[in-house]
Structure 1
Amino acid sequence: MSAVNAPSPGGWREWLMSDRPQSRRQAALGRAYGGWRTFSRNRLAMLGLAIVIALLLVALFANQLAPYSPYIGDLRTTRLLPPSAAHWFGTDDQGRDILSRIIHGSRITLFVVVLVAILAAPIGLVVGTVAGYSGGLIDAALMRITDIFLAFPRLILALAFVAALGPGIENAVIAIAITSWPPYARIARAETLTIRQADYIAAVQLMGASPWRIVLRHIMPLCVSSVIVRVTLDMAGIILTAAGLGFLGLGAQPPTPEWGAMIANGRLYVLDQWWVAAAPGAAIFLVSLAFNLLGDGLRDALDPKGVK
């Protein structure tokens, strides 16, 4: 950054919030700063962010945080023990520490969420922007395919794909990703229908840019923020879908400490040994709530009208 464009000492905030940025970098940093100010004023969004960061740290340091092995228990001495100082969340029917299994299960939850987002969001973004910019027959064909996927409940459609692919966490991720992209395509198409009428798109067309270049370089980046917000809000549904597949035995297979499978294992003891199912259920609820709060905050922060 040149000395001319650099802010004076103590003037970083004024430099970031300038109405007349002197460079693209200053403009980008200013938008990011304004978005963060809007986001940080939302206490519930900050709470959701804190829980998500805690989930990331727990998953990263699971081996150090888990007090016991998530796979090995003692049927003779530690089977179905209630919560205590030795086992904070109690033990399951195999004598395994539930807290340790929940801590290690956070890795599987993040694995599913991240992979589904990486697979589904780009597919929906490409389909939506291509359909919105192309129009005509291409738009009609892509949107009818999208409508077919939207016509089925996500869990039911995921069950069909997992049944075809076979049980397992990898196949569950693929099935959830296949069923998750249509809403992103709808959002991207709606954004593209508005953007393609802008004057700068007409200018780019007059300069001879190809349709693919216009879509990839000029339209798609403007649709990313809306898709990111929708992905964040959908992460709770992704977690619930993965837990549902695990509950039905089509997701992660035993003895993998997946939260949905843990609830399925605890349903046999829900009346007397309630903690076996309650602990993983509470973990799913807390993480799903955190992603919803985070998504609401991002929606406000990434809204150009809401950034101040």
Structure 2
Amino acid sequence: MTMTIDPPPLSRRAYLLSDQPASRTQASLGRAYMVWLRFSANGLALAGLGIIMALSLVAIFADVIAPHSPVSGDLAGARLLPPGTGSYLLGTDDQGRDILSRLIFGSRLTLAVVSLVAVIAAPLGLLVGTVAGYAGGWVDAVLMRITDIFLAFPKLVLAMAFVAALGPGIENAVLAIAITSWPAYARIARAETLRVRNSDYIAAVGLMGASPWRIVLRHVMPMCLSSLIVRVTLDMAGIILTAAGLGFLGLGAQPPMPEWGAMIASGRRFILDQWWVATMPGIAILTVSLGFNLLGDGLRDALDPREAGR
């Protein structure tokens, strides 16, 4: 009687890096692992990921971390205190409110704005771009001319016009930024669609009887996601700056909400003597914008191996 000896089980790394995956799940996990290996080899990308993760944790646990209230302060005894005074690590503003606490709670607004804009603008741009690229003809011409009209205006100016029409407020600011952000995503999605729409596997799906909408939704859109994710991540810094610009002009979040752009606007009157009032939120905007840019660069290199080798 001959005994068969089962081969030793594959290690986790060998399982993920297998050249002959046994299932679709294994293939998907292997691709994700390769992306992570390329991403983790970039130290600056890891630094950007660390900044964004730290911002997320601060926003989640703001109620626990913040030492003071973000909307009320000691106007009589704690007005315009410099950094390091007592329990005010970053000083106070002209209303006696703790700047550190306002920055911590302001991170929630920042993450909410960038998340909502991405959720609204990216799917809209992806849908418009893929439909235009796959349909072609007059559909492509009409959709792209509408896109060109939006691209002809500077993003901040167009967002200001929409907010002025809709009224000031954080909800209208998010909607205005989303309306001005989708055209760039539509252009990217259209370019990717034009690249793949005449490929053999798209033709095979069509011969199998798939409808044009099914082809666009199930087979074309997934091919555009990697480029779109990179562009959305890189655009996060611009979204933050646009939201801060609207807040600075009084068109975004309204007082006493701790929005970073509005904090800079309220501190510009004291920039020479009480520099920390406007400087601290400016540093916060700079740090978070840098984090998103580093993260976007890392994702671009990880999702496109051709870029990583340059």
Give me the TM-score of the superposition, normalised by structure 1: 0.96
SS state of the match for residue 260, structure 1? Answer: helix
SS at match of 2:213: helix
1:149 paired to 2:129: no
Tell me the residue number matched to 2:56.
Answer: 56
- Residue 3 of structure 1: aligned partner: none
Q: Aligned partners of 1:265 and 1:305: how far apart in 2?
A: 46
Cα distance in 2 between the residues matched to 1:305 and 1:251? 40
1:229-244 equivalence runs, <5 A: 229-244=230-245
| Contact 2:300/2:307 (8 A) holds in 1 | no
Contact 1:78–1:91, Cα closer than 8 Å, also in 2:
yes
| 1:122-176 deviations in Å (ceiling 9; x for gaps) | 0000000000000010001111111111111100000000000000000000000
Residue pair 1:38, 1:306 contacting (<8 A) in 2 also? no
Q: What is the CA RMSD across the aligned residues, in angstroms?
A: 1.3
Give the letter aligned to residue 35 of structure 1: V
Specify whether residues 82 and 307 from structure 1 end up closer, same or farther in structure 2 by C-alpha distance, changes over 3 A only. Answer: closer
Opposite residue 20 of structure 1, the aligned amino acid is Q
**Following the alignment from structure 2 to structure 1, what is the Cα–Cα distance between the partners of residues 305 and 19?**
14
Matched residues in 1 for 2:158 and 2:307: separation?
36
- 1:96 partnered with 2:62: no
Distance in 2 (alpha carbons) for counterparts of 1:61 and 1:175: 29
Residue in 2 that maps onto 1:159? 160
Shift of the 118–139 alpha-carbon distance from structure 1 to 2, 3 Å rule, reads same
- Rounded to whole Å, the distance in 2 between the matches of 1:166 and 1:305 is 46
Q: Could you list the runs of 5+ residues in structure 2 that have no partner in the other structure?
A: 1-6
Q: How far, CA to CA, are the matches of 2:21 and 2:126 in structure 1? A: 30
Distance 1:8 1:147 in 2: 59
**1:179-198 alignment runs, 5 A limit:** 179-198=180-199
Q: Conserved in 2, the CA contact under 8 Å of 1:169 and 1:251?
A: yes
2:33 maps to amino acid: Y
TM-score with structure 2 length normalisation? Answer: 0.95
Alignment of 1:108-257 (within 5 A): 108-257=109-258
Please give the alpha-carbon distance, in whole angstroms, between the structure 2 residues aligned to 1:63 and 1:13. 40
Cα distance in 1 for partners of 2:306, 2:271 equals 48
Q: Distance in 2 between matches of 1:106 and 1:96?
A: 16
Q: What is the CA–CA distance in structure 1 between the aligned matches of 2:8 and 2:167, rounded to whole Å?
A: 61
Check 1:157–1:306 CA distance in 2 against 1; reply closer, same or farther (3 A cut). closer
How much has 1:86 moved relative to structure 2? 1.8
- Number of equivalences: 302
* 4+ aligned runs moved over 6 Å, structure 1: none
> What's the offset of the Cα at 1:21?
1.6
Deviation at 1:225, TM superposition (A): 1.1
**Alignment pair present for 1:40 and 2:11:** no
- 1:261 maps to 262
User: In structure 2, do the counterparts of structure 1 residues 72 and 18 end up closer, same or farther at CA, with 3 Å as the change threshold?
Assistant: same
Task: Give CA deviations for 1:271-308 in whole Å, capped at 9, x if unaligned.
Answer: 00000000000000000000000000011111154689
Sort the Cα spacing of 1:307 and 1:12 in 2 relative to 1 into closer, same or farther, 3 A: farther
Question: Taking every aligned residue pair, what percent have the same amino acid on both sides?
Answer: 73
For residues 20 and 190 of structure 1, the distance between their equivalents in structure 2, rounded to whole angstroms, comes to 32
